[in-house]
Amino acid sequence: VRPIGSTSESDTEFDRMKQEILDEVVRELHKVKDEIINAIRQEIGRISTS
């Protein structure tokens, strides 16, 4: 049993892995957001020129 507040190497590695996954999710969400915004802009442009 470890004392409260102590971390092992595996905990540190796990936290690093979690952070990498979160960073990747954020990057992918930004890509999706940009794709949605671009699609909306294209539709607005298409509608306004019709």
User: What is the reported pLDDT for 49?
Assistant: 87
Degrees to nearest 5, angle at CA 25 with 40 and 14: 175
User: What gap in Å lies between CA 48 and CA 46, rounded to an integer?
Assistant: 6
Q: How many DSSP H helices and E strands does the chain contain? A: 1, 0
- 8 or 41: which carries more pLDDT confidence? 41
pLDDT digits (tens, 9 = 90+) for 5-35: 666 889 999 999 999 999 999 999 999 999 9
User: What gap in Å lies between CA 18 and CA 43, rounded to an integer?
Assistant: 38
Judged on CB neighbours under 10 Å (0-12, 13-18, 19+), 28 is exposed
